[in-house]
Amino acid sequence: MKYKGIIFDLDGVICFTDEYHYLAWKELGESIGIFNFTREDNHRLRGVSRMESLEILLEKSKRKFSLEEKFKLAEEKNRIYRNLLAKMSEADLEQETFTVLKDLKAKGLKLAIGSSSKNARYILEKIGLLTFFDAISDGNNITKSKPNPEVFLKAAGLLNIKPGDLIVVEDAKAGIDAAVAGGFASVGIGDAANYEKSDYKIEKLRELLDIIEK
Ligand code: BG6
Ligand code: MG
């Protein structure tokens, strides 16, 4: 086997919470007079932390906000977002995704999550995967978010496998940059499948089974 394990980003790779992020940021934006936050703008938030996402939203406001106000806004966005996440269930995990994960595990690979989200464990619990992975590294155990490799390096540490023996699967350019910076092989899916820095570009997760054998 060419690799010993795989680190998966969560949002946009294992499940799809983008729309919930969008709806929550849009609602928060409207409460402070921002009425032009689009799904296109929402793409820029992929992989970046909650506070950095807020700064991107606030680019659309003429008002200046204090740090205290910004923390309150981020908290409010999270409240709205978690209300949306509460409706998620095992039905939000595609059967094929689960089958591929099980097939990869059956090959002896160690599997981890490397997500910028502080809600990663909540989402994993909702979709029935909280106890499936060998390690979970998320927004709660990092100080620098993607494109900094910290979240993936922490996952590698938890797995006790060196970055060169791991691949990172990402849908965000910031995530691919983080993987490259950390010395991991990178696999781009979705948005990141068109990114030149992705070592491998895939359409479906099942293609991982070919990559690990190469
Ligand atoms: C990432 C998302 O997974 O998590 C980003 O792609 C988001 O859009 C980030 O900003 C932080 O999420 P949370 O759940 O901690 O607010
Ligand atoms: Mg993502």
Q: Are 186 and 197 in contact (CB under 8 A)?
A: yes
Pair of tokens at residue 199: 């070592």
The pLDDT score that the predictor gives to residue 74 is 98
Percent of the chain at pLDDT exceeding 90: 97
Farthest-apart Cα atoms in the chain, separation: 55
**Residue 137: count of CB within 10 angstroms of its CB:** 25
11 is catalytic: yes
**Using a 6 Å CB cutoff, which residues line ligand 1?**
10-11, 21, 45-50, 53, 78, 115-119, 139
Give the domains, in start order, of the chain with CATH numbers.
Answer: 5-15+90-213 (3.40.50.1000), 18-85 (1.10.150.240)
Residue 23 has pLDDT above 90, yes or no: yes
Mutate to test the pocket of ligand 1, among 10, 16, 85, 116 (most ligand atoms within 8 A of CB): 116
Q: Is 56 helix (H, G, I), strand (E, B) or coil?
A: helix
User: pLDDT tens digits for 126-140?
Assistant: 999 999 999 999 999
Provide the pLDDT for residue 213. Answer: 87
d(CA 163, CA 59) in angstroms, rounded, equals 36
Q: Give the Å distances, CA to CA, from 203 to 107, 123, 169.
A: 21, 23, 12
Kindly list the distances between the CA atom of residue 185 and the CA atoms of 166, 177, 193, in Å, as whole numbers in the listed order: 6, 11, 14
The pTM of this model reads 0.96
Question: Does the pLDDT of residue 214 top 80, yes or no?
Answer: no
**Amino acid letter for position 139:** G
